[in-house]
């Protein structure tokens, strides 16, 4: 049976080229980057070379790069680190990843002030919305670049202008665009930026928080003063080397990857339109304001009966097609996605939603196979689609 993996927004496979570069640091070059002997110096040299490379790609200084255990930690460090240091009012969106929303809610539970904006139906936040929510006291805005469920893009440079005009720090979770778009912190105008290695064919458990020079953070993890006191703990050298190599490869191949992903997404849209007519709606804005790798579709009720998205997902899985219903971090519970509810979808439509997310190694044949199987599964589930 064919196996088609269309869940790259959840995670990507480790690129074999990345694995090769990581291997020596798991074997003979195992030194602790804080040790002064030869093996330690080798590890330190590797970590600092990675820091320089990542900084170079982001238009940042090496000292502004903090290596973390992933996107979740980087998001937490941005929010808690800034809020514990400065206090004040936080603004974020109801469509953010839980790695931002949960610390935001924790801040409110502690008595901190926060505004959680309701996004437009695309999932994006506009500069006007942000402007209206600012208070005298606002210290931090946290808005994601591409939404991980919908793919929709928030216009970060325009958001940054509003933040700059009011002297407010801007954090952006760019986990879903890092490795596809050329992210430059000066062009984006961000003060903090989150990346996660396993979304661009690097290892899991490796992330980056860019912290603009002069922005001080209260660390989440205190210890031996690593990462300039912003994140204690012995550096995970192999993971840092893996993340950096994966990022380099992604930047070299970014143009072709984006073209390829856009073609695959458009092909699936076209095939499904031909096969299913108007039996579904796209939650992904397909007019260009979206990342190229995500397609989020809600299947409409059949004869008034809502389609069961979980069932749809499991049936597709039996056919070898792996997709996601909502974000991977919330699957396992039958609650409809908080993002779909935030953009105004009702619970029944939200529960009948699939997210297809494409990767660099998917082929047109994968897309054709998926479209065929989806049509078959929908028919089996009783959806009355045109013959």
Q: Is 93 in the site for ligand PLP (CB under 6 A)?
A: no
Residue window 291-330: x/- pattern of binding to ligand PLP, with contact defined by CB under 6 A: --------------------------------------x-
Interface segment toward ligand PLP; rule CB under 6 A; list 66-74, 288-296, 345-353, 371-379: 66-74
Total length of the chain: 387
Q: Does residue 176 belong to the site contacting ligand PLP (CB under 6 A)?
A: yes
b/e per residue, 211-245, with b = 16+ CB within 10 A? bbeebebebbeeeeebbeebbeeebbbbbbbbbbb
Minimum CB distance to ligand PLP, residue 15 (Å): 16
Kindly state the smallest distance separating residue 221's Cβ from ligand PLP, in Å: 15
Give the residue, chosen from 4, 55, 78, 175, that forms a contact with ligand PLP under the rule CB under 6 A. Answer: 175
From CA 207, how far away is CA 120, in angstroms rounded?
A: 29
Rounded to an integer, what distance in angstroms lies between the CA atom of residue 375 and that of residue 351?
Answer: 18
- Identify the burial level of 8 via C-beta atoms within 10 angstroms of its C-beta, where 0-12 means exposed, 13-18 middle and 19 or more buried: buried
Based on CB atoms, which residue is closest to ligand PLP, 10 or 377? 10
Q: Least distance in Å: CB of 76 to ligand PLP?
A: 9
50 is catalytic: no
Q: Is 203 in the site for ligand PLP (CB under 6 A)?
A: no
Contact flag: residue 31 with ligand PLP (CB under 6 A):
no
Residues sharing a CB contact under 8 Å with residue 159, sequence separation 6 or more, in sequence order:
125, 127, 130, 141, 143, 170
The tokens for 343 are 């953009």
Shortest distance in whole angstroms from residue 11 CB to ligand PLP: 7
- Residue 219 engages ligand PLP in binding (rule: CB under 6 A): no
CB 39 within 8 A of CB 31: yes
Question: Shortest Cβ contact with ligand PLP: which residue?
Answer: 71
Q: Which residue out of 50, 163, 269, 329 is catalytically annotated? A: 329
Determine which residue in the list 71, 88, 203, 219 makes contact with ligand PLP, applying CB under 6 A: 71
Is 148 near ligand PLP (CB under 6 A)?
Answer: yes
**Long-range pairs for 282-288 at CB < 8 Å and ≥24 separation?**
283/123, 283/149, 283/150, 283/340, 283/343, 283/345, 283/353, 284/150, 284/151, 284/152, 285/122, 285/123, 285/124, 285/150, 285/151, 285/152
Taking the complex as a whole, the smallest distance from the CB of residue 348 to ligand PLP amounts, in Å, to: 25
Rounded to an integer, what distance in angstroms lies between the CA atom of residue 330 and that of residue 353? 13
Task: Choose which of 97, 171, 231, 338 interacts with ligand PLP (CB under 6 A).
Answer: 97
Residue 7 near residue 323 (C-beta atoms within 8 A):
yes
Among 70, 202, 203, 219, binds ligand PLP (CB under 6 A): 70
Which of residues 7, 15, 173, 248 is near ligand PLP by CB under 6 A?
173
User: Which token pair is 187?
Assistant: 């062009």
- The count of chain residues that interact with ligand PLP, using the rule CB under 6 A, is 15
Which of residues 274 and 335 has its CB atom nearest to ligand PLP in the complex? 335
CA distance 331 to 342: 17
Stretches 69-77, 133-141, 209-217, 257-265: which one binds ligand PLP (CB under 6 A)?
69-77
Please give the DSSP secondary-structure letter assigned to residue 151. Answer: -
Other C-beta atoms closer than 10 Å to the C-beta of 111 total 6
Q: Which of residues 242-301 bind ligand PLP (CB under 6 A)?
A: none
72 interacts with ligand PLP by CB under 6 A: yes
Q: Which two tokens stand for residue 317?
A: 């899985």
- Name the residues that contact ligand PLP, by CB under 6 A: 70-72, 75, 97, 99, 144, 148, 173, 175-176, 196, 198, 207, 329
Could you give the residue numbers annotated as active site? 329
């Amino acid at each position: 049976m064919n196996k088609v993996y269309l869940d790259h927004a959840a995670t990507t496979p480790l690129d074999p080229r990345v694995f090769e570069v990581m291997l020596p640091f798991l074997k003979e070059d195992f030194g602790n980057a804080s040790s002064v002997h030869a093996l330690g110096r080798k590890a330190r040299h590797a970590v600092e070379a990675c820091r320089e490379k990542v900084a170079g790609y982001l238009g940042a200084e090496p000292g502004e790069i903090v290596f973390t255990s992933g996107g979740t930690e980087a998001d937490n460090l941005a929010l808690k680190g800034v809020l514990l240091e400065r206090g004040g009012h936080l603004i974020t969106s109801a469509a953010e990843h839980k790695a931002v929303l949960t610390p935001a809610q924790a801040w409110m539970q502690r008595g901190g002030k926060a505004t959680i904006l309701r996004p437009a139906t695309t999932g994006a936040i506009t500069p006007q919305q942000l402007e209206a929510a600012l208070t005298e006291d606002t210290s931090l805005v946290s808005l994601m670049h591409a939404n991980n469920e919908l793919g929709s893009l928030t216009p970060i440079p325009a958001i940054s202008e509003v933040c700059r005009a009011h002297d407010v720090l801007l954090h952006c979770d760019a986990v879903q665009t890092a490795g596809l778009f050329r992210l430059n912190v000066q062009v984006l105008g961000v003060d903090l930026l989150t990346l996660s290695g396993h979304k661009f064919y690097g290892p899991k458990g490796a992330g980056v928080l860019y912290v603009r020079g002069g922005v001080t953070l209260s660390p989440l993890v205190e210890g031996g003063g690593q990462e300039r006191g912003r994140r204690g703990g012995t550096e995970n050298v192999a993971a840092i080397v893996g993340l950096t190599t994966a990022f380099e490869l992604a930047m070299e191949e970014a143009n072709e990857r984006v073209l390829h992903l856009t073609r695959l997404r458009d092909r699936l849209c076209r095939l499904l339109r031909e096969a299913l007519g108007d039996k579904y709606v796209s939650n992904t804005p397909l007019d260009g304001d979206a990342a190229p790798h995500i397609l989020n579709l809600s299947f409409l009720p059949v004869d008034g009966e809502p389609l069961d998205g979980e069932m749809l997902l499991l049936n597709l899985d039996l056919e070898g097609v792996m997709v996601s219903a909502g974000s991977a971090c919330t699957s396992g519970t039958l609650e409809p996605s908080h993002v779909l509810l935030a953009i105004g979808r009702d619970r029944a439509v939200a529960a009948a939603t699939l997210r297809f997310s494409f990767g660099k190694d998917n082929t047109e044949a994968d897309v054709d196979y998926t479209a065929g199987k989806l049509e078959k599964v929908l028919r089996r589930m009783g959806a009355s689609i045109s013959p």
